[in-house]
Amino acid sequence: MSNNILDVSVVVPLYNEEESLPELMAWIERVCSQNNLSYEVVMVDDGSTDASWSVVEQLKEKYGDRLKAIRFARNYGKSAALYCGFEAAEGEVVFTMDADLQDSPDEIPEMRRMVLEEGYDLVSGWKKRRFDPISKRWPSKFFNATARCVSGIKLHDFNCGLKCYCKRVVKSIEVYGEMHRYIPILAKYAGFKRIGEKEVQHQARKYGVSKFGIERMVKGYLDLISVTFMSRFGRSPMYFFGSLGTLMFLVGGFTTIWVIAEKLYKQLHELPLRAVTDQPLFYLSILAIVLGVQLFLAGFLGELINRNSTDRNRYLISEKL
């Protein structure tokens, strides 16, 4: 291997973690040195309001080129921090871990081995034994079960901050919004099917408090719907909107014909009847027809936009001869 290629890049998104940063950097340094790994750490300060950036500057003076640092002007979220960190990472294998010392750098050698020797594209950590309160554990279990069901990826802990990637994965996916929870799903739909899992040690929080509240569960489910839809229908919106619109149009159309035909039949046989416009079913049928047309047009417009997109033919090519 060329000496210019780093063995490991560690991307660390951080927000108000001034106390933990020196310990984390020293821990990563110790593990990589003991295993003869060349490394870099990419710290992304997501608009911290404490002295985190000052601490990062001090660490930069101490560690030099082994530390890269990016600072946001304001808080954009973990996904934005990971996206910028992935762009800056140059290592053969890329890790992500949280800055709060709850993820153990001791896992780096084995997870790296799984990627390089066992051929995994992505290895996700599984915090089987967690030190979080029950109010955080049980919603997480339910959330992970839903993500497994929707994605078909058999991971116990989608949201574990400790993950290991083949470099090609992080350079091929786009993490935005709150999509950091669904990086394995993004990787799968980008063509990376070798997704593994390793049970990792979870540390109790040593400094500060958690930066995530209950609202992340609501955001999590909304983002799960978004990433599933975009992954399956992002390049062909007509498949979704057109199919649903056609179905609603046909249901509404046949129901309208049924209502009118029933009235004509009763008129012909002099049976008791009421006006078509007095029947709620008639108005529901018209509504279904209108919605069907609108959904079909939404799919058509989506196709027009997609056809004129500058990156619609940006595909990942795994090999050329």
Q: Are residues 97 and 215 both part of a single domain?
A: yes
Residue 145 burial class via C-beta count within 10 angstroms: exposed 0-12, middle 13-18, buried 19 and up: exposed
Three-state secondary-structure class, residue 317:
coil
**116: Cα within 13 Å, side-chain hemisphere:** 12
pTM: 0.73
User: Are 159 and 132 part of one and the same domain?
Assistant: yes
Helix residue spans in 35-107 (DSSP H): 52-63, 78-88
The least confident of 89-93, 197-201, 212-216, 298-302 is 212-216
pLDDT at 319 over 70: no
Q: Judge contact between 66 and 41, C-beta under 8 A.
A: yes
pLDDT at residue number 287: 93
Say how far apart CA 145 and CA 142 lie, in whole Å.
Answer: 5
Handedness of CA 34, 35, 37, 41 (dihedral sign): negative
Domain interval for residue 288: 237-307
In this structure, are 86 and 29 located in the same domain? yes
Q: Tens of pLDDT along 69-109?
A: 999 988 888 888 999 999 999 999 999 999 988 899 999 99
Residue 58 has pLDDT above 70, yes or no: yes
pLDDT digits (tens, 9 = 90+) for 243-287: 899 999 999 999 999 988 888 888 888 888 788 778 888 899 999
Residue 277 has which token pair?
């416009």
pLDDT of residue 212: 56
Q: Which of 211, 233, 255 is the last residue of a domain?
A: 233
Tell me if 123 sits within 8 A of 164, measured CB to CB. yes
Structural domain count of the chain: 2
Within this chain, do residues 45 and 174 fall inside the same structural domain, yes or no? yes
Q: Does the structure show a pLDDT above 90 at 1?
A: no
